[in-house]
């Protein structure tokens, strides 16, 4: 339930709103709008760290994917659809191949789970 508390608190909501209200075209645009903006960078970091943790918990089978899908499937999907395309260039630019790797795992696993459980699709 701590996961739910963190996901539903005002600080996380504010971070998600901040990132969702920011658009970018490509990695250089993302870098200037998000990575070089301390508030946006902090918001993105808040979200990635949270989803990284959920990804590890799912991967290690400490929480069930059904719980995650019932609670936050739409948010995870939306976040990865927005951020996923710039992760590859970001990893390369920072020479950090595991950057957001557990978030990517979470998103990929969630999509697979939703395909196997169409009654839960968002």
Q: Could you report the per-residue pLDDT of 34-73, keeping only the tens digit for each?
A: 999 999 999 999 999 999 999 999 999 999 999 999 999 9
Domain extent for 112:
25-120
- What pLDDT does residue 122 have? 64
Residue 1 in domain: no
- Does residue 41 belong to any structural domain of this protein? yes
pLDDT of residue 59: 97
Residue 108 lies in a domain: yes
Q: Is residue 109 part of a domain?
A: yes
30 touches 24 (CB < 8 A): yes
Task: Please check whether residue 106 is in contact with residue 54, taking contact to mean a CB–CB distance below 8 angstroms.
Answer: yes
Q: What is the DSSP letter of 55?
A: H
What span, in angstroms and rounded, lies between the C-alpha atoms of 74 and 78? 6
pTM score, two decimals?
0.91
Instruction: Identify whether 86 is part of a domain.
Output: yes
Q: Look at residue 5 and tell me if it is in a domain.
A: no
Report which of 81, 83, 56, 58 is spatially closest to residue 69, judged by C-alpha positions: 58
What's the domain count of the chain?
Answer: 1
Structure confidence by residue, pLDDT tens digits, 17-30: 999 999 999 999 99
With b meaning 16 or more CB within 10 Å and e meaning fewer, what string describes 52-61? bebbbbbeee
* Domain-embedded: residue 4: no
* Residue 3 resides in a domain: no
């Amino acid at each position: 339930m701590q996961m739910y508390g963190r996901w539903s608190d005002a600080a996380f909501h504010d971070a998600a709103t901040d990132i969702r209200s920011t658009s970018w075209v490509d990695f250089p645009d993302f870098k200037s709008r998000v990575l070089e903006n301390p508030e946006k960078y902090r918001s993105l970091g808040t979200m990635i760290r949270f989803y990284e943790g959920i990804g590890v918990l799912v991967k290690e089978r400490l929480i069930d994917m059904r719980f995650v899908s019932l609670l936050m499937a739409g948010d995870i999907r939306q976040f990865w659809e927005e951020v996923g395309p710039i992760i590859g260039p970001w990893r390369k630019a920072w020479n950090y191949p595991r950057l957001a790797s557990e978030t990517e795992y979470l998103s990929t696993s969630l999509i697979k789970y939703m395909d196997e459980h169409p009654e839960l699709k968002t």
